[in-house]
Amino acid sequence: MKVLGIETSCDETAAAVVANGDDGTPAIVSNIVYSQVQAHAPFGGVVPELASREHVNRIVGVVDQAVEEAGGFDELDGIAVTSGPGLVGCLLVGVQMAKGLAIARNLPWLGINHLEGHLCAALLAEKPPEYPYLALVVSGGHTHLYHVREFGSYELVGRTRDDAAGEAFDKVAKVLGLGYPGGIHVDRLAQSGDPTSFALPRGIPDKKIFDFSFSGLKTKSIQTIRTSSEPMEGQRLSDFCASLQEAIADVLTKKAVLAAKKIGVNGIVLAGGVAANSRLRALIEERTAANGMWSFCPPRALCTDNGAMIAAAGWSRFKTGQETKWDTKVRSRWPLDEVS
């Protein structure tokens, strides 16, 4: 089975094809991503209208390249596309492209939850993690903990009550003048910094509560920058970035381990764009190992938005005979625990 996956939920125009792997899991045949970073960088964040227009301009070329590398449209057995959550204008571009191709090629199509796609990036690894596990889904728009019993079974365990971790990275980086996306720049500068240099808060420290809060950290960080008697540059800037990164990674990993113990699972899977952060990856490995657990971090290229993860989710659902109705609409909000 070969499945085309299309992803346009935010600021990446992506398409990929996956097929049956040797071990009964999906394998990547092609994976094309056009990043809109340069288009949005002058604004310090994603501009929804601009993102939608960029998708319109790029989607045909990206899809054609992905399909051509996989042997052509005649090789496809189905089409999967992100239909939520995300920016509505962006989602519409991908879904309409998928529907048009499905009609023209007489193929079934599936609307995929973007967060399920992130979890399915793990299926594309050489040794995918085994169910059940706790999933830490962390990105610019999401910071959630899910009990994943099996594919398609997701129970919400904890969530952010305000800002997502990725948003905290990006907003503080913008104030620092580091550029967009901020998390990458913070991670790079933090490599030579001292994470104990600045005392930054950890939201909701209660060990019995698995929810997150990053608004206080974001506010405190911005206040520290603006009231600092010394400019944030050189070593001082690296120290601050290391402290910010540590504050975020610390609370994410602590609560993930506590939640895993509470629900009785022995493994934690990272997913989402922030899962590419080097300190978060290192700390989750360190803390799971210290507690007799395993952890899984997808390859960095599959942490950020891509078509392969959507194709993998579609591949898994097509295997059970699922299809999406033609009148299905895109959703700006679509909690993963509401996916059936």
In terms of Cβ atoms closer than 10 Å to its own Cβ (0-12, 13-18, 19+), residue 88 is: middle
Q: What is the pLDDT of residues 247-301, one digit of tens each?
A: 999 999 999 999 999 999 999 999 999 999 999 999 999 999 999 999 999 999 9
The predicted structure's pLDDT at residue 180: 87
Let me know whether 328 and 287 are in one domain. Answer: no
Let me know whether 112 and 170 are in one domain. Answer: no
Return the CATH number at 89: 3.30.420.40
Within 10 angstroms of residue 127's Cβ, the number of other Cβ atoms is 9
Q: Mean pLDDT, to the nearest integer, of 129-138?
A: 97
Let me know whether 29 and 113 are in one domain. Answer: yes
Between 303 and 21, the more confident residue is 303
In a domain, 177, yes or no: yes
Q: Is the pLDDT of residue 45 over 90?
A: no
Percent of the chain with pLDDT over 70: 100
Let me know whether 307 and 213 are in one domain. Answer: no
Q: What is the mean pLDDT of the chain?
A: 96
- Distance CA(43)–CA(153), nearest Å, equals 38
Let me know whether 145 and 276 are in one domain. Answer: yes
The predicted structure's pLDDT at residue 22: 80
Beta carbons within 8 Å of 13's beta carbon, 6+ residues apart: 7, 33, 34, 36, 54, 55, 58, 59, 62
* Residue 79 CA neighbour count, 13 Å, CB half: 28
Q: Which ranges constitute the DSSP H helices of the chain?
A: 37-40, 48-69, 88-105, 114-120, 165-176, 182-190, 215-227, 234-263, 278-290, 307-318
Q: What is the pLDDT of residues 89-102, one digit of tens each?
A: 999 999 999 999 99
Beta pairing partners, 295? 268
Strands 26-35 and 78-84: unpaired
Q: In terms of pTM, does the model score above 0.75?
A: yes
Let me know whether 156 and 263 are in one domain. Answer: yes
Question: Residue with structure tokens 């499905």?
Answer: 102
Let me know whether 141 and 287 are in one domain. Answer: yes
DSSP string, 229-294: SS-S-HHHHHHHHHHHHHHHHHHHHHHHHHHHHHHT-SEEEEESGGGG-HHHHHHHHHHHHHTT-E
Let me know whether 281 and 155 are in one domain. Answer: yes
- With H, G, I as helix, E, B as strand and everything else as coil, classify residue 338: helix
Residue 124 per-residue DSSP state: G
Beta carbons within 8 Å of 328's beta carbon, 6+ residues apart: 83, 111
Q: Is the pLDDT of residue 5 over 80?
A: yes
Let me know whether 97 and 20 are in one domain. Answer: yes
Q: Mean pLDDT, to the nearest integer, of 206-235?
A: 95
Range of the domain at 222: 131-297
Q: Is the pLDDT of residue 234 over 80?
A: yes
Strands 109-113 and 78-84: parallel
Q: Which of 28, 11, 13 is nearest to 312 (CA)?
A: 28
Q: Mean pLDDT, to the nearest integer, of 210-230?
A: 96
The predicted structure's pLDDT at residue 132: 98
Let me know whether 293 and 310 are in one domain. Answer: no
CA distances to 131, 159, 208, 274 from 267, rounded to whole Å, are 9, 18, 19, 19
Q: Is the pLDDT of residue 64 over 90?
A: yes
The predicted structure's pLDDT at residue 340: 72
How many domains does the chain contain in total?
2
Q: Is the pLDDT of residue 23 over 90?
A: no
In a domain, 163, yes or no: yes
In a domain, 334, yes or no: yes
Q: Mean pLDDT, to the nearest integer, of 13-29?
A: 94
Let me know whether 154 and 287 are in one domain. Answer: yes
Q: What are phi and psi of 82, to 5 degrees?
A: -65, 125
Q: What is the pLDDT of residues 166-178, one digit of tens each?
A: 999 999 999 999 9
The predicted structure's pLDDT at residue 179: 86
In a domain, 126, yes or no: no
The predicted structure's pLDDT at residue 135: 98
Let me know whether 203 and 219 are in one domain. Answer: yes
